[in-house]
Amino acid sequence: MPLVNVMVNSRAYTIACDDGEEEHLRELAKHVDSKVRELLETVGQVGDSRLLLMAALLITDDYFDAVHRLEARVKDFNELTATHAETKASLGTAEQRALASFEAATKRISDIAARLAEA
């Protein structure tokens, strides 16, 4: 199990991860560090524990927001899919009615043509 050194708030932390996950862990730590730096600009140095907690809360808030947006998009997609299916079924019915009308008109024209030919 590899150990990865990361920096958050100018402090080094050594964290274990699965093989092949080293770069991903570094990217995650960079994201946490950026949130901590944002907090430092607004609240100042309030201690590592509090900064890390606040960063975790901000990241969790971003995550929940993304989940809610995704759920809304899934709902929109499902509604569009249902509407598409209804429209497709409606068009199928309309096509069948149009075909029946066309066939009836063709038969009437054929009948008229046959009567004219007899006359």
Looking at the chain, list the stretches that DSSP marks H as alpha helix, in order from N- to C-terminal side. 22-43, 48-118
Kindly state the average pLDDT of the residues 95-117: 86
Kindly state the average pLDDT of the residues 89-99: 80
Kindly state the average pLDDT of the residues 74-95: 86
DSSP 46: -
Kindly state the average pLDDT of the residues 56-68: 96
pLDDT at 84: 86
Answer for the pair 54, 41: CB distance below 8 angstroms, yes or no.
Answer: no
Query: What's phi and psi for 52, nearest 5 deg?
Result: -65, -40
Residue 18 scores a pLDDT above 90: yes
Report the distance separating Cα 45 and Cα 39, nearest Å: 9
CA atoms within 13 A on the CB side of 116: 6
Confidence of residue 17 (pLDDT cuts 50, 70, 90): very high
Kindly state the average pLDDT of the residues 91-102: 82
Rg (CA), the chain: 34
Q: What is the pLDDT of residues 42-57, one digit of tens each?
A: 988 888 899 999 999 9
Which string of b and e fits 61-86 if b means at least 16 CB within 10 Å?
eeeeeeeeeeeeeeeeeeeeeeeeee
